[in-house]
């Protein structure tokens, strides 16, 4: 019979409930020991693979799950995905030796709340568990830098106006100033047919149906 660790001296146990999913026995035991010595934490389960974790963790009702990403058969990312479907409020911290960007973002997309490297100091791991439990999203510094770098490299979506060629923008500018096709043709030294063709391309790229709509978009840009 399991001892009831949910109460001490008649008071409710306010410690954060933590479950571990880690295939390395040594690492699993080290984590269990670490949680046992942390006054704010309580280990409610330790599992060697994702299949066992999915069966038992819902019954253990942890607040936080420490998830190894490199599990046998079902990997940690897939396990997070399935676990979050069953327990959407449970926070998951990925524990890994990997820093690959794809793994980081796949984990976060599937519902992980943080991503930590296994070689982080024990005190920092305890702090990370406490942080994620209160709504934070802890990451090892190396991981955080990769996340920041990723978003810095993402280009802003190209606006419709940026799709215009230099000539098309010039024609739109003249249209906005009230010039007629004939006047624009004379200014630019081209035929009216050319001006109309460019104007048609402008309408298509701006997703408008008329000169007035195109001019309004041009004005709004400024």
Q: Would you say the C-alpha torsion 17, 19, 20, 26 has a positive or negative sign?
A: positive
CA angle 99, 102, 103 (to 5 degrees): 60
CA–CA gap between residue 92 and residue 69 (Å, rounded): 11
Of 8-17, 163-172, 190-199, which range is least confident?
8-17
CA–CA gap between residue 81 and residue 77 (Å, rounded): 6
Residue where a domain stops, chosen among 153, 181, 203: 153
Domain that holds residue 120: 13-153
N-terminal to C-terminal alpha carbon distance within the chain: 73
Contact between 55 and 80 under an 8 Å Cβ cutoff? The reply is: no
Q: Within this chain, do residues 136 and 59 fall inside the same structural domain, yes or no?
A: yes
Tens digit of each residue's pLDDT (9 = 90 or more) over 110-119: 999 999 988 8
Q: What are phi and psi of 27, to 5 degrees?
A: -65, -40
Q: Residue 17's pLDDT is what?
A: 97
Task: Name the helix (H) or strand (E) containing 78.
Answer: helix 76-86
CA–CA gap between residue 138 and residue 96 (Å, rounded): 14
Q: Within this chain, do residues 147 and 175 fall inside the same structural domain, yes or no?
A: no
Q: Residue 58's pLDDT is what?
A: 96
SS3 of residue 118 by DSSP:
coil
Q: Is the pLDDT of residue 170 over 70?
A: yes
Residue where a domain stops, chosen among 126, 153, 180: 153
Q: Count the domains in the chain.
A: 2
Look up the CATH number of the domain holding residue 167.
Answer: 1.10.10.10
Q: Within this chain, do residues 147 and 174 fall inside the same structural domain, yes or no?
A: no
Q: Within this chain, do residues 135 and 168 fall inside the same structural domain, yes or no?
A: no
Q: Within this chain, do residues 179 and 130 fall inside the same structural domain, yes or no?
A: no
Q: Within this chain, do residues 98 and 188 fall inside the same structural domain, yes or no?
A: no
Q: Within this chain, do residues 130 and 193 fall inside the same structural domain, yes or no?
A: no
The length of the chain is 222
Tens digit of each residue's pLDDT (9 = 90 or more) over 64-106: 999 999 898 899 999 999 999 999 999 999 998 876 667 888 8
Asked if the structure places residue 8 within a domain, the reply is no
Q: Residue 33's pLDDT is what?
A: 96
Cβ-Cβ contacts under 8 Å for 40 (sequence gap 6 or more): 15, 16, 126, 130
Q: Is the pLDDT of residue 51 over 60?
A: yes
């Amino acid at each position: 019979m399991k001892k009831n660790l949910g109460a001490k001296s008649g008071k409710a146990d306010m410690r954060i409930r933590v479950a571990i999913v880690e295939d390395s026995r040594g690492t699993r035991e080290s984590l269990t020991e670490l949680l046992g010595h942390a006054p704010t934490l309580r280990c409610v389960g330790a599992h060697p693979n994702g299949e066992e974790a999915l069966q038992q963790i819902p019954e253990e009702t942890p607040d936080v799950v420490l998830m190894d990403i490199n599990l046998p058969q079902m990997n940690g990312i897939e396990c997070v995905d399935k676990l979050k479907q069953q327990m959407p409020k449970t926070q998951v911290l990925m524990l890994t030796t990997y820093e690959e960007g794809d793994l980081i973002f796949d984990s976060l997309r599937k519902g992980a709340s943080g991503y930590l490297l296994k070689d982080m100091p024990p005190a920092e791991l305890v702090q990370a568990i406490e942080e994620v439990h209160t709504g934070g999203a802890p990451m090892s510094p190396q991981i955080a830098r990769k996340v920041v770098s990723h978003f810095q490299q993402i280009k802003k979506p190209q606006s419709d106006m940026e799709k215009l060629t230099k000539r098309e923008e010039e024609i739109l500018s003249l249209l906005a100033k009230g010039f007629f096709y004939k006047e624009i043709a004379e200014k630019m030294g081209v035929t009216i047919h050319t001006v109309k063709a460019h104007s048609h391309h402008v309408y298509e790229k701006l997703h408008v149906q008329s000169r007035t709509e195109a001019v309004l978009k041009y004005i709004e840009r400024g």
